Structure 1
């Protein structure tokens, strides 16, 4: 089943790509790889939530935000090469703005990983890092990078 059809079945409409906030491009294709720049949990061009996970933002909400980051990454990939050209997800790098003592970054980033597997099935399984950060740009709780192979 195509990724675009699976997204439709899941009731997910890819949003417009948020313009970069600094000097970079949203995605870069190198050969058969597409690298996304860090995607934050924007909704209609604004951050959905700010704050640190384990502080102002609870784990359940942070998982939702990681899922939103993954949806935004898919939108960037779609704009760059077309979502149906994705062969597999290679790597996900999740950054979690963490309150002191918070250590469940992998649980948070599962929100993104689970979405990618829902969309791409076995081809959505990927290598991954989930890293705690003191701060993220504009106070975002979560940021995500995705690398995919394309046909």
Structure 2
């Protein structure tokens, strides 16, 4: 089954790759690796929510946002090389804008990790970092970047 067929089975339609908001590109291939820039949980160009996780944003909503970040990261990979070129997900880095008392960043980033596992199966297992930060661009609660190996 192709990756796009698997996404369709999961009820996910990839959006167009997001337009950069600065002096960078959405994804870059170097050798057999594709690195995405940090992806926000944009839906039709808009953030579904703003604020800090553990204050204005619930863990469940932030996990949903992390999943959307991963969807947008796959859109960037698809625009550059096509999703069927992906051999495996190598690494996920998730940034969580957190209230100082919030310490469940890994649970938030599970939204991206679990989604990638659903899409790629065993090839979706990856190394990962989940980092709490004071603030993210546009006051988004979550930002995710991925590295994938391609054929």
Instruction: Give the TM-score range, shorter chain.
Output: over 0.9
Q: Which consecutive unaligned segments of at least 5 residues does structure 1 have?
A: none
What is residue 46 of structure 2 aligned with on the other side? Answer: 46
TM-score (norm 1): 0.99
Query: CA RMSD of the aligned region, Å?
Result: 0.5
Distance 1:111 1:18 in 2: 20
Aligned to 1:143, what secondary structure does the other structure show? strand
What is residue 134 of structure 1 aligned with on the other side? Answer: 134
Superposed counterparts of 1:66-77, under 5 Å? 66-77=66-77
Displacement after TM superposition at 1:2 (Å):
1.9
Displacement after TM superposition at 1:18 (Å):
1.5
Displacement after TM superposition at 1:49 (Å):
1.1
Distance 2:85 2:2 in 1: 9
Aligned to 2:49, what secondary structure does the other structure show? coil
Q: How many residue pairs get matched?
A: 151
Displacement after TM superposition at 1:48 (Å):
1.5
- Residue 33 (1) aligns with residue 33 (2): yes
Moved segments of 4+, more than 6 Å = none
TM-score (norm 2): 0.99
Partner deviation per Cα, 1:16-49 (whole Å, 9 max, x = no partner):
1111111000000001100000000001111111
Q: Please tell me whether the aligned partners of residues 91 and 147 of structure 1 are also in contact (alpha carbons under 8 angstroms).
A: yes
Aligned to 2:67, what secondary structure does the other structure show? helix
